[in-house]
Structures are given as C-alpha cells and as structure tokens.
Amino acid sequence: MSARRSAAAQPQENQAASQRETRAQRRTQRRAQVQERPSPTAPARSPSAFAGGRIWWHFLIDGAVLAVLLGVAVLGFGPTFGHDPQYLIAGFGAIVLGLGVAALGSHWRLGLITMVGLGFMVYMLFGSALAAPNEAILGFIPSLSSLRGLLLGIMLSWKQLLTLAAPVGTSVDVMVVPYLAAFVAAIVAGTLAWRLRNAYWAMVPVVVLFLTAILFGTAEVFLPVLRGSLLTVGAIAWLAYRHELLRRETAGSISANQQVQDTAGARTSLLRRIGMAAGVILVAGAVTMAAAPALTGNASREVLRDAVIPPPDLHELPSPLTKFRDYVKNEKDTVLFDVAGLPKNGRVRIAAMDNYDGVVFNVDPNSSASFAPIGDAKLPANSGDGNGTAVDLVIDGYSDVWIPSVSMAQSLSYESALGETPTLYLNKESGTALNLAGVAKGDEYSMDVQFPGADGDKLAGADFGSVRLPKLENVPPVVGTKANDIVGDAATPLKKVQALEGALQREGKFSNGLEGQTTSNSGHSAARITKLLSGKEMVGDDEQYATAMVLMARHLGIPARVVMGFYLDEKDPNNGADTVKVKGSDVHAWVEVNFADRGWVSFNPTPDKDHVPNPPEPQNASKPKPQVLQPPPPPQEPADLPPDSAPDALDTDGKKNNQAGMWGTILMIVGVAAIPIAIIALPLILIVALKTRRRKKRHTTGLPTDRVGGGWSEVLSLATDLGAGVDNNGTRRETAVSLYNAFPASQTSTALLAERADAAIFGPGQPSEDEVATYWQNVDHSVKGMTGSVGFWKRQRAKFSPRSLLADAKARAGNKTRERSLRTSDAANSNGVAHGQGGAAKRSTLARFLKKS
C-alpha cells in the first residue's frame, strides 16, 4: 500500500523539481541579460578591424607595402626641392604617422569626424619637427611661427610651391605640400586597406599622391622607369596577395563543413596562381620600363607651374646689349658696383642672349619660362672644377632690371636697400637673374660661386653640347660666306671655334667710336654686321665682334650665345684685388659655346685695344657738280598684308599654341599615370571577353543537346567564379545538391535545370528549339538568383575571375588525355574489324558523353 502511494507521489516530486529548476534557469538568464545589457553611458563598441581572423603579420605586410608605394610617390618631389633630404624626412615621416592614424582608426572603428580631428592633432603636433624644423625651437619643438606656417600652409602652400623656382627651399611655406599630401594619402590608403575587404580602393590615394608629385613638380623627370616599375609591380603583387587571402576566406566560409581531400589538386592550383601572378608582374614591369622612356623623354616637357604663374614678359625689356656704348661713352668713369671676392680675371655677367631678329640680340622669349621666382637661393651646380668662393656685391651707380651675377653661383642672398626684398626671377639655363622692380643703389647680395677652369686637353676631344636654341632671323648672307671661308677644313669642334675667334682677332680693328678714335657706329643690326664683315677693314668693339662670331657659329651649327658683363683688363693693377670697383669702362661682351660634358665655355673674339684701324689715305679733291632737282617718285599703293600677318592673328595663334601645349601636357601626365591602370585593366577586359565568347558558343553552337549541356555548364561556371566548391566528377543532380548551401535562393531552379539537362541529353531524340530556348531562359533565371544572393563586390569579383576559364581548360585537357588513352588501348587490343568497329562506336559514345557533361 505504502509502495503504491510512494510510486504515485514520485511523478509529482519530479514535476516540482523540474519547475524549480526551470525558474532557476530563468532567473539566471535574466541576470545574464541585465549584465550583458549595454550601459547608456558606455555604448557597445564595434569589433576591431584587426579582429577578423587574419594573422597579425598580414596587417604588417599591408602597412609595409603601402609605405613603400607611397614613398615611391614622394620621391617625385625630389627635383622641386633640389633633392634636399629634408623633404624626404617630411614625406616619409608623414607616411608613418598617417598609417599609424589609420591603424588606430581601424582598431577603434572611429568615425569620419573623429578621424579628421585625430589626424589634425597629429599633423600639428609632429609637423614642426618634420615640415618646419627651421621655424621650430631646437628644430623639433613647436613654436608660434611653425604652428602658424603649418596652419596657413594647408591652404596657401600649394600656390607658394608653384610660384617659386626650383629648388624651392625647405621653409614651412613649401614643406607643407609633401608633408600634408603624404599624410592624407597614408591615412586614406591605410583606412581603405584595413577596413574594406577589397584592397583595390587602397591604390587610389597612392596614385593620387603620385600624380600630385608630377603636377607640382618640375620639367625634370626623376627616375621615371624605376619609380614607374616599382609602383606597377608592387601594386599588382600586393593586390594579388590580398586577393588570394580573400579567396581563401571565402572558400573557407562556403565549405566550412566539407573537408578538402584533394591536397595535390589544391597545391597544383596554388602553384598555378603563383605562376600566373608572376607572369603578370613580369609583363607589367616590362611594359612600364619600355613605355616610360618614350613618354618622359621629351626634353621640352611642360609642367603645371608654367601654366599657373606666367613667366616675366621679356618682350617689354630692351636688349641689354643696346646699352653697351652708353656705358663706354657716358658712364666710363662711373662706379657701378663694388665686388669683393672676385678672383683674378673673374667676370660679372649681366645677361646671356641667344635670339637674333636682324636688329638686336636678346634673351629668347620662347625660353622665358625658365625665368621663375626664386624660392630657395640654391642653384643647381654646373659642371666645372674649382672650390666654392664667397662673392659679395654692393650696388652703387648701376641701375637696371638685370642683376649683376657670376656664372656657377650656387646660392644667392639678396638684401634690398628699400627694405623688403622684391620678387627675384632666375634663369638657370643662362645663369642670370632679374629684378623687375629695378636694382637700386645700396642693394647688397652675396653669392657662393664655383669658378670653373677650362681644361684645353679635355676641350680638344669634346663634341658640341646638345642644347635648345631659337632660330635666328634676318641674318645677312655675308655671315655664311665668311664663316665657311674662315673654318675651312677644321677637323675638331674646338678648332672650328678657335678659327672663328682667331680670324676676328687678327683681321679686326678695335674702335669704340670715342673722340680721337676711328669712326665706329654702334649697334649690331644686320646692316652693321654686313658692313663689319664686307668692308675693307673690320672696325668695331665687343658688341659687333661678339655678335658676328655668334652669327657665324650658329650658321655652322655651333651652339653659341652672346654674353654681356663686366671684367677688368688683364693688365689692370686692381685685377685680382680683394675688393674691386667696377666702372662703365669695364663693360665687355664675349661669346659662350656649349661643349658636351663641359658646359658653356667663354671665347673672346674682340681684337686688342691697341689694334687700331689704319689711317685713311688722302684723296684728291674733286670739283663738285651742280645739283639738279629730280622729280618726285610716283606714289605707291600700300601693300596688302595677308590676314595671318596681322598682330591680332599672330596673338590668336600664340594663344592657341599655348592652350594646345597645356592640353598636351595634361594628356601626357594622364597617359603616364594611366600605364599602371591599363596594365591592370587589360587582363580583366580579356577575361570578360573570353567569358562572353564562351557563353555565345555554348548558346548557339552544336546540336540541341550540346546547347542544353552548355546551359548547365554556364551555371557551373558562375558557381565556380563565385567561389563555390564544384565537384566535376559528380553527376548533375549531385552537383545541384552541393550548390544548395552556397546558393539557397536558387536551389529549386538549379535542381530543375539538372533534371531537364539529364532528360534532354540521355533521353530519346533531340530536344526542339523551343525547349532549348526555354531551358536557357531558366538558366538566366537561375544565374540571376545566384548573383542576387551575394553582395555587389562579390559579383564584381566573379565577373573578372578566371577560375571558370581555368577549370574549363583543365577539363578539356583531361578529356583529351582520356580519349588519347582509349584510342591507344583500342589500337593495342584490336582483334578484328567488327570488334574494332564496335569498340570505336562505344568509345565515340563515351567521348560524346564526356564532352556533354
């Protein structure tokens, strides 16, 4: 009895215990939910971008590759800053800081506004040490001047960099450009590389920085082949590496429950991808190395700075050579300037003139773009021997826009007597400078000069240099005849120049036309040079002889120009003194000829001053005849000028040429920058074309059963490109089942396509054209469902993926191998004609089955 009561009470006790346990579990769950509920003052933080399962050193590789590519882009600023290492410190330091900010933002998932604020703080904190060491305290501690320069430089430094002649110096006004450009590019590149699965977007800021260095650079191209190759090869290799990582992650997520057994096939596939990547890198590097010299070898390359700030208009400036006789006659005793540190026989130059129009020699207007505002006083060194010497000049009675300077000057420090130093313009090709405000009395400036020494032995075997010079106009015919007679059979370039120089020195007579001297007209027009070279005696001074020698040299193809300046006579006792007072009587003009690897070398064709003309022979006086009044000549109608010769037409043509040149420069820059893009895009375009051709062939070629099988193959190709694991050895229905997990939205249509394909291929007869068209409509519907079940970027990757093409190639190779083995086996085991025909029929059916499947 008690046993029965105990048995009856047992279920009740179990039920009560179960209820108590359930209530305890609910209380535990409520406590856990309360603990896990985020606090209103501490919102839940998104997971770090570095917590996605990738190994930590993968992110280090990303940062190292981006740093190298961005560093290659920063090197493009080298010619602008005269390759001063300070711009490298600013650029490379900014890259490290930018990648660090990008890493912090990716780890903490910072928003746009927070990232901008963090970046601005880092920019201002470290900018004094990297971009403004000259303005910072002790070279790295922020000061009011350095912070002000960093703040204003965000908006003003870009224009400042374009308005200064290269090298622009290392002040904060210009150093902000590489520092800020590299800093922003590094932040954007690192953020895109670590926050997005697709690494292609990270190349956009790298290319933008590369273009920025080109646009804000100079006409000098710095290592175009090496930098272009490094950028192209490095970008392709890194993108291939990131693509392989992404492929593995995608493949792992699709087949997480399916163990891969074919390790040999996986190894072969990996080696194949590595080989293809290496081939693409080699082709890209070869194309870049071949195309870069052709695109960057233009000697007259134009840059953005030439279009932004126009050079000074030299058309409004008179030729310095026209003032030659004024110095000789009116200012011969006037002290023009004092020079300290000028060595014996040293020369002070005013201007180098290379353009002749039949009236005057002047600076070539077409090369006036070489005159640009001086940013840094440093000038590029020219070839020559000698040690740097400090030369100081103090202006006294000299007044002109041309600054007296010394060739081979390495630096220029100018202090105006009027207070603020005006804008100075520099022409590096001629070694001359301009002050459009005018050089005034009391102006002081110093130069660090390297005086060259002409080595006769080296010049004897040197050829003429290759320089761009304007075409001379209205040159008198006597110049060519005289030049050919003088040079004759001179063998070497130096002997040709010395022949011209020696002939003028020997045959010429010196006269300035001053009181007590033989009459000698001033000027160097075509009429004056004709009179000099065709008269009984050549009479003139430096102005005429230097002009005549340059005209004859240019007729013979010798690169020569006229230089006007000042120097003391060799016999002057003050020649070589510590301080020299230069007067107007010390004015001279000489000739410079360009030799390869030696630069411009001076020659003096003017005869000695004691080589005076012979006195005129007395002539018998003749009785003058009475003058007869002649009738006036008939009036002539004015000549009709062609419309193209009008000034407005010429000006319009010049504007069109300038616009065409600017567009040509822009197109050239875009063309150079598009090389890496074209190299990357060409394989993608080829893949899309091959897939389009394959689909068309499957849809339109062969028997109806072949086209039905082609529709099923189109579905498998898309699944392969989307990263799904497709078993090529399984049947169609088995393959359809394996695609269920990868594309659940299209599993019904996929199964239906597999069944209909089997029925059409293995059933009796051939399907009709309507059935084939309906099947392909179902294929398109299934394909649309498969692509719609994945994201946008995955669809784009599938569109350009070569996996299905490689799989098709592998399948064709396997079918050919099996057919060849069957054919060999048939030839070896054939015992009779009938047996052979029957076996051949079976093998033909088997081969057709393999082809359809």
Q: What is the pLDDT of residues 127-160, one digit of tens each?
A: 999 999 988 998 889 999 899 989 988 888 887 7
Burial environment of residue 660 by CB neighbours within 10 A (0 to 12, 13 to 18, 19 or more) = exposed
Q: Is the pLDDT of residue 23 over 80?
A: no
The pLDDT-based confidence of 120 (bands split at 50, 70, 90) is very high
Q: Are 99 and 66 in contact (CB under 8 A)?
A: yes
Burial 314-337 (b: 16+ CB within 10 A, else e): beebebbbbbbbebbeebeeeebb
The DSSP output letter for 723 is T
Q: How far apart are CA 397 and CA 333, in angstroms?
A: 10
pLDDT of residue 547: 94
pLDDT of residue 159: 77
The pLDDT-based confidence of 298 (bands split at 50, 70, 90) is very low
pLDDT of residue 369: 47
605-640 pLDDT per residue, tens: 999 988 888 776 655 555 566 655 556 666 655 555
54-113 pLDDT per residue, tens: 777 888 888 899 999 999 999 988 888 878 889 999 999 999 999 999 999 988 888 888
Q: What is the CA radius of gyration of the chain?
A: 42
pLDDT of residue 411: 63
258-274 pLDDT per residue, tens: 444 455 555 665 566 66
- Mean predicted confidence (pLDDT) in 695-720: 85
Better-predicted residue by pLDDT, 450 or 841: 450
Enumerate residues 6+ apart whose C-beta is below 8 A from 10. Answer: none
Q: Measured at the alpha carbon of residue 730, what is the angle toward residues 728 and 732, in degrees to the nearest 5?
A: 95
Half-sphere exposure of 336 (CA within 13 A, CB side): 24
Better-predicted residue by pLDDT, 33 or 216: 216
Enumerate residues 6+ apart whose C-beta is below 8 A from 651. Answer: none
Q: Measured at the alpha carbon of residue 288, what is the angle toward residues 287 and 291, in degrees to the nearest 5?
A: 80
Tell me the residue type at 347: R
The DSSP output letter for 634 is P
Tell me the residue type at 599: G
345-399 pLDDT per residue, tens: 889 999 999 899 999 998 886 654 467 677 544 444 333 344 567 888 999 999 9
- Where does residue 628 fall: left (phi above 0), alpha (psi -120 to 50 degrees), or beta otherwise? beta
487-521 pLDDT per residue, tens: 988 888 999 999 999 999 999 999 988 888 888 88
Helix (H, G, I), strand (E, B) or coil at 181: helix
Q: How far apart are CA 655 and CA 641, in angstroms?
A: 21
Q: Are 450 and 384 in contact (CB under 8 A)?
A: yes
Nearest-CA neighbor of 430 among 594, 275, 247, 579? 594
778-795 pLDDT per residue, tens: 888 888 888 888 878 788
- In the predicted model, what is the mean pLDDT of the chain? 77
CA 367 to chain CA centroid, Å, is: 23
- Mean predicted confidence (pLDDT) in 393-422: 80
Q: Are 374 and 164 in contact (CB under 8 A)?
A: yes
Q: Is the pLDDT of residue 166 over 50?
A: yes
Strand ranges for 169-294 from DSSP E: none
Q: Structure tokens of 831?
A: 């015992």
Q: How far apart are CA 348 and CA 96, in angstroms?
A: 48
Q: How far apart are CA 69 and CA 228, in angstroms?
A: 10
- Where does residue 847 fall: left (phi above 0), alpha (psi -120 to 50 degrees), or beta otherwise? alpha
- Mean predicted confidence (pLDDT) in 696-701: 87
Q: In degrees to the nearest 10, what's the CA dihedral of 314, 659, 669, 283? A: -120
Q: How far apart are CA 634 and CA 300, in angstroms?
A: 52
The pLDDT-based confidence of 826 (bands split at 50, 70, 90) is low
First-to-last CA distance in the chain?
77
